[in-house]
Amino acid sequence: MLTKFESKSNRVKGLTFHPIRPWVLASLHSGVIQLWDYRMCTLIEKFDEHDGPVRGVDFHSNQPLFVSGGDDYKIKVWNYKQRRCLFTLLGHLDYIRTTFFHREYPWIISSSDDQTIRIWNWQSRTCTCVLTGHNHYVMCAQFHPNEDLVASASLDQTVRIWDISGLRKKTVAPGVGGLEEHLKNPGSTDLFGSSDAIVKHVLEGHDRGVNWVAFHPSMPLLVSAADDRQVKLWRMNDAKAWEVDTCRGHYNNVSCVLFHPRMDLIISNSEDKTIKVWDMSKRTGIQTFRRENDRFWVIAAHPTQNLFAAGHDGGMIVFKLERERPAYSAHKNTLYYVKERYLRRYEFGTSTDVPVMAIRRNGGGHLRSTAHNISYSPTTDAMLICSNTTNPETAFYELFTIPKDTDPTNPEFVEGKRSSGKAAVWVSRDRFAVLDKTNQIVIKNLKNEVAKKLQGPNCDGIFFAGTSRLLLRDGDNIVLYDLQQRKSLASVRVSKMKYVVWTQDMNHVAILGKHNIAICNKKLECLCTVHENIRVKSGGWDDLGVFIYTTSNHIKYVLKNGDGGIIRTLDLPIYITMVKGNSVYCLDRDCKARVLAIDPTEFKFKLALINRKYDEVLHMVRHAKLVGQSLISYLEKKGYPEVALHFVKDERTKFGLAVDCGNIEVALETAKTLDDKGCWNSLSKLALAQGNHQVVELCYQRTKNFDGLSFLYLLTGNVDKLKRMTKIAEVRKDVSGQFQNAICCGDVEERIKILRSVGHDTLAYLSAKTHGLEEEAESIAASLGQSPDELPEVKPDAKLLLPPVPVQQMQANWPLLTVSKGFFESAMSAKGSKLAAQSLLDAEEDDEAVMANGGGGWGDDEDLDIDEAKDVTAGEEDAAEDGGGWDVGDDIELPTDLDVDVTAAAGGEGYFVPPTVGISQQQVWVNNSQLPVDHVLAGSFESAMRLLQDQLGVVEFEPYRPLFMATYARSRSAVVALPATPCLFGSPHRNWQEAGARNGLPAVGLKLSHLVEKLQAAYQATTGGKFQDAVSKFQSLLLSITLLVVDNKQEIAEAQQLMSICREYIVGLSMEVARKELPKSNLEEQKRICEMAAYFTHCDLQPVHLILTLRTALNLFYKLKNFKTGASFARRLLELGPKPDIAAQTRKILQACDKNLTDTHKLQYDEHNPFTVCAATYKPLYRGKPQEKCPLCQASYVPDYKGNVCKVCRVSEVGRDAIGLRISPIQFR
């Protein structure tokens, strides 16, 4: 039995499969109905409206309905799409045992402990028929799948067959002659009244109550299960029904039984905790599956797939009786596979599929259940067929030689050489390896004779790995073993490994586990791993080195760097045999060879991008239909937003990409299309960062950011537009903005006018008097009507508020450094230049329109044309039109200091060209290293911060400032040169012996030993009680670890241990500082103080510090009268071996606590349950509870703190995905 899914719940009394979706419905003894997805192993929904156990449940064959019946005497019909009960059918007077839908008619049949069977019409919601006759509980009642029959089983020890053709005729349901007969005799009635259902047969043979009865899906057979521990097979015809045989083997009541939908098998389960499979023809048991503690109550079969479900006391299991994966082996363009009793050959090129030879049947006649895998040797045309390895004692293999001349219509029967063995694979042209039942590897020849035995590593599985090599599986450890050298070459860990798939050149291998895939090279070095939530089925390599694999419902791909995606969905699982171009060759579960078409554009695009084949990328961007948000996010993640920019269609997405890659031209065009205020604001920030004040001006105009415009004109020295902004503010009645613009323009008269208009005549008088405007001052004084003594005095030291005159108006944008364009920017340069020109023209045209139509003060003044473009090139254009020919005149004014030797023209250039500047050592360091400290030493702080962000999730770099500056300061050596000349700088290398000109790496002044010295200083501060000082030292030490360079794995481990020490001390000391600041006014606050002291004792500290924390916690808990926990602290303290006086005092407290081992108050502290302390809330995070971690220091947090800056290291983002600490070049190999 192959278990596919298992659930834990209360006792399961009813089960049913959905006919199409991967769902199973389970009704529980607790009254809950659970809907499970057995493929994804997830609970989809719960339905809880019944009172008491629910014993019957069934899905409708084509409607989104299911029916349930329970001990509350109710039958409920549910709609699982609406997730609610549609209606309830009432009529039964006792517990309802089973409920089933009819396959065609709108009927529901139910059986009950009230000794009746009822048939309901779920469309009219009425009971159409009641079947009476049983004189005890009716345990089961079912419709016949094709005929108008009903079978029922009862505790009165009988099985009854009912004829319900009368009910069908009465309700005019489609049937043989039903409608015609009704139309011929519409008014005819039976003399004694029409009988809807009559008893056709009564089957007696069981000695005790019958629990279940089921029809065969196609034959006139029934099977029944009873409390007499027997399963009986019955046959019937129109005249009679009789017992065929009895299956004996159960040791307790048989609770349920059914026929296999497609094979001649009977499956039963019992309260003896077993499921038994019986051969229907021989009536003998074939297999038995046993559980230790759970009785089985119900079993259900999937209508179309090889799936069964069984309910027991502790839940349910979904299982298969046999393995459905076909056994196959592919070599070049040929596929060999086993189907039924034949070995078949399929040619990929011609799609010809013929049987090669006939093989004898094994076991019970089902070869697929025994052919587990096959291995083909092309040189000798020999085949190894291995049996199922579930039982090592009975596992075997057979060696066949494929006949050269075969007749496809009548394949030749070939007798194989059979031997015991768990697995067999070819290791050379005429040798194969066998793993025997004692897990020993044996090498055999073509005569199936033992050539030699190997004492290799322990293993439980062997797989092909090339000539004279094997992959050995030992649990989760995979070993590459050389048979000739008899030694292990490499190993890798893969959980629940099942299959291996090699590339054609044997340079790469995909190791497939149950839920994961590991891609390795031929040295078994893991290149990447992929984890799936559902089972991985098969896989194959395509010609480009991309691994295509299948799960239960998808075809997916994975590149060697770990990037992957979905190619297409699947209705049913398939097994890939070969991938070629756009086609996937595969076998389905019926062993039919199929060819599926796939679209490889996406993974080809990613592969070209990874391999830097930019010509192919550009071709795909221009011609392929690349769509999907996942591809756009992939390009953003990989640092290619400019690539996504050229084919994305959504305007808002295009705008975001343009902002990300700093493409102002595309962002401007997209912003005009969207015309969204948020987009204009984002564009203004981008343009401002690049110094493009013309675009900033346009953005401010579109968003009516008048203050921003004024400040922009002030910065660029555009006084004319600044004066116009004053007039605009006046029209808008923005007095504050008008006054500020007047100050910036130095317009004193305007300021006085504004002050008088708002009633500040005194301020207006002072402004006029201060700036020497006597006439204006006298006019204001006269209007005030005050005497000269009453007027405010002007300070003699007052300064005139006049802005400095702009030296030069900034017309052009801020100059930017010339950088080389990327490949894609260059490729799109024609399109980009056209776009940029159009954008600038649009900007010039939009200025006047926006300023005129902006509303408020924009459109009421005729002088508000902010951009008055003048045609300064008109004269030049006219001159060009008047003249003709080529402009090669000699009217060029050359500098007089150019002295070129005319006679040198024949021999050379005649002037000196200075050599180009080479690459600096700092740039060499950046190119050669991926360690952040090397980039800091090179002065490339930006790239260093980017590395820290990728590797450790650092987002806050201010704490790194002193460390960066100190590190950079020691990156160069200085030698004093001649007087009045600068020093000569050198660049020390740590690899000076082999560095050369382009392979150098900087010398790092910080060593691991230096940090150990700093650690001792932090320990001293902790011992002295200087907690804040100690926390600062530990935090500085923590950040310094990230700027180390070490040489070997031992030093890497020591650095990681040092980081762990820093984290524990920072969390503990910070918690202690917070505890001392807490108030102690009431009991709850005192309890919180005790809790934090208890948590501090679980930080991983040095013994001397742990003794101090335990003494503090012991005293607090003793005062709180929590003697039991206090005694635990005392024992822990004594185990650390404190000083004699402390030990004596502790023993006294322990003796006092032992007299009353109870805790007066309940605290949030469980010393026996392992936990970590949240570094933000200082509350315990017990094992198994959700938590987020800091990628740098690994401090733990509650999930609510995800996205915040870590409070321990102060630099990293909690919960951010990061690579991890990188402080050595060996971590990148």
CA distance 707 to 1100: 57
678: left (phi over 0), alpha (psi -120 to 50) or beta: alpha
DSSP per-residue string spanning 813-833:
PPP----PPPHHHHHTHHHHH
Q: What share of the chain is helix, strand, coil (3-state, %, to 5)?
A: 30, 30, 40
Beta bridge partners of 501: 510
pLDDT of the residue at 550 = 94
Per DSSP, helices labelled H in 1042-1082 are 1049-1076
Confidence bin at 984 (pLDDT 50/70/90): confident
Euclidean distance between CA atoms 104 and 156, whole angstroms: 30
pLDDT for the residue numbered 926: 84
Handedness of CA 842, 846, 847, 848 (dihedral sign): positive
Question: Could you tell me the two tokens for 612?
Answer: 């830097």
Confidence band, pLDDT 50/70/90 cuts, at residue 389: low
Rounded-to-integer distance, Cα 1009 and Cα 1069, Å: 24
Do residues 762 and 743 lie in contact, with contact meaning Cβ atoms separated by under 8 Å?
A: no
What pLDDT score does 759 carry?
83
Closest C-alpha among 215, 202, 212, 118 to residue 159:
202
pLDDT at 787: 67
Most confident of 180-189, 342-351, 403-412, 713-722: 342-351
Residue 490 dihedral angles phi and psi, to the nearest 5° = -165, 170
pLDDT at 825: 59
Sequence length of the chain is: 1229
The answer to whether the beta carbons of residues 968 and 957 sit under 8 Å apart is no
With a CB cutoff of 8 Å and minimum separation 6, the contacts of 1135 are none
Radius of gyration for the alpha carbons in the chain, expressed in angstroms and rounded: 43
Q: How far apart are CA 38 and CA 421, in angstroms?
A: 33
- Predicted confidence at residue 19, as pLDDT, reads 93
Which range is least confidently modeled, 592-601, 649-658, 817-826, 1158-1167? 817-826
CB 345 within 8 A of CB 366: no
Q: Is residue 865 scored above 80 in pLDDT?
A: no
CA distance 575 to 551: 9
pLDDT for the residue numbered 519: 93
Kindly indicate the confidence band of residue 869, based on its pLDDT and cuts at 50, 70 and 90: very low
Residue 866, pLDDT score? 35
- Could you give the angle at the alpha carbon of 628 between the alpha carbons of 627 and 631, nearest 5°? 95
**Residue-wise over 546-556: b if at least 16 C-beta within 10 A, else e?**
bbbbbbbbbbb
What's the pLDDT tens digit per position in 792-809? 777 777 777 677 777 777
pLDDT in tens, 645-697: 666 777 887 787 778 777 888 888 888 888 888 888 888 888 888 888 888 88
Pairing of strands 1188-1189, 1196-1197: antiparallel
Give φ, ψ of 527 to 5 degrees.
Answer: -90, -35
Residue 719: pLDDT band (50, 70, 90) is confident
- What are the residues whose beta carbons fall under 8 Å from the beta carbon of 688, sequence distance 6 or more? 696
Lowest mean pLDDT among 154-163, 322-331, 444-453, 853-862: 853-862
DSSP β-ladder status, 96-101 and 1171-1173:
unpaired
pLDDT in tens, 1001-1027: 888 888 888 888 889 989 999 998 889
Instruction: Give me the mean pLDDT over the 870-885 stretch.
Output: 39
Mean pLDDT of the chain: 83
Instruction: List, for residues 63-86, the tens digit of each pLDDT value.
Output: 999 999 999 999 999 999 999 999
Report the pLDDT value the prediction gives residue 827, as an integer from 0 to 100. 57
pLDDT of residue 877: 40
Average pLDDT over residues 364-387: 75
Summarize pLDDT for 463-495 with one digit per residue, the tens.
999 889 999 998 889 999 998 888 889 999 998
Which whole number is the average pLDDT over 940-958?
90
DSSP 8-state class, residue 1205: B
pLDDT value at position 632? Answer: 67
* Nearest CA-CA partner of 240 in 206, 200, 271: 200
What is the predicted pLDDT for the residue at 887?
A: 36
Name the band, by pLDDT with cuts 50, 70 and 90, for residue 172.
low
Task: Determine the Cα–Cα distance for residues 24 and 62; give it in Å rounded to an integer.
Answer: 15
Return the pLDDT at 671: 87
Give the CB-side neighbour count of residue 686, counting CA atoms within 13 A. 24
pLDDT at 255 over 90: yes
User: What amino acid is encoded at 19 in this protein?
Assistant: P
Q: Is residue 364 predicted with pLDDT exceeding 80?
A: no
The answer on pLDDT for 101 being more than 70 is yes
Mean pLDDT of the region 239-253: 92
Given a contact cutoff of 8 angstroms between Cβ atoms, the answer to whether 933 and 960 are in contact is no
pLDDT band at 273 (very low <50, low <70, confident <90, very high): very high
CB 830 within 8 A of CB 821: no
Mean pLDDT of 129-138: 94
Collapse the DSSP code of 201 into the 3-class scheme (helix H, G, I; strand E, B; otherwise coil) and give the result. strand
Query: Phi first, then psi: what are they for 62, rounded to 5°?
Result: -140, -5
Confidence of residue 204 (pLDDT cuts 50, 70, 90): very high
Given CA atoms 1003, 1004, 1007, 1013 in this order, what sign does their dihedral have?
positive
> Band of the pLDDT at 867, cuts 50, 70, 90?
very low
412-413 and 353-358 beta bridge pairing: parallel
For residues 873 and 898, is the Cβ–Cβ distance under 8 A?
A: no
Residue 271's contacts (CB-CB under 8 Å, 6 or more residues apart) are: 252, 253, 254, 255, 295, 296, 297
Q: What is the pLDDT of residue 898?
A: 46
State how far the alpha carbon of 1013 is from the alpha carbons of 910, 1007, 1010, 1017, 1029, in Å: 64, 10, 5, 7, 16
Residue 144 pLDDT grade (very low, low, confident, very high; cuts 50, 70, 90)? very high
The residue with greater pLDDT, 131 or 186, is 131
pTM of structure: 0.57
Provide the 3-class DSSP secondary structure of residue 419. Answer: strand
- The predicted-structure confidence for 825-844, as pLDDT tens digits, reads as follows 555 554 444 444 444 444 44
DSSP labels for 966-978? HHHHTS-EEE--S
What tokens does 381 get? 């045309």
Q: pLDDT, tens digit, for every residue of 159-169? A: 999 999 888 88
Q: Which of the two residues, 891 and 608, has the higher pLDDT score? A: 608
Quote the DSSP letter at residue 168. H
Instruction: Write the pLDDT tens digit of every residue in 1032-1084.
Output: 999 999 999 999 998 888 888 999 999 999 999 999 999 999 988 888 888 88
What pLDDT is stored for residue 74 in this prediction? 95
The burial class, CB within 10 Å (0-12 / 13-18 / 19+), for 919 is: exposed
What's the rounded Cα separation, in Å, for the pair 1137 and 1110? 12
pLDDT digits (tens, 9 = 90+) for 908-928: 445 666 777 777 888 888 888
pLDDT at 848 over 50: no
Q: Using one digit for the tens of pLDDT, what is the confidence trace for 519-562?
A: 999 889 999 999 998 889 999 999 889 999 999 889 999 998 88
Banded pLDDT at 905 (limits 50, 70, 90):
very low
Check residue 298 and give its pLDDT: 96
- Average pLDDT, stretch 303-332? 90
pLDDT number for residue 819: 56
- Structure confidence at residue 871 (pLDDT): 40
Check residue 310 and give its pLDDT: 96
Q: Please tell me what DSSP assigns to residue 485.
A: T
463-493 residues labelled b (16+ CB within 10 A) or e (exposed):
bbbeeebbbbbeeeebbbbebeeeeeeeebe
- Name the token pair of 3: 């278990």
- Contact call for residues 31 and 52 (beta carbons, < 8 A): yes
Tokens of 162: 């009912």
Give the model's confidence band at 852: pLDDT under 50 very low, under 70 low, under 90 confident, else very high: very low
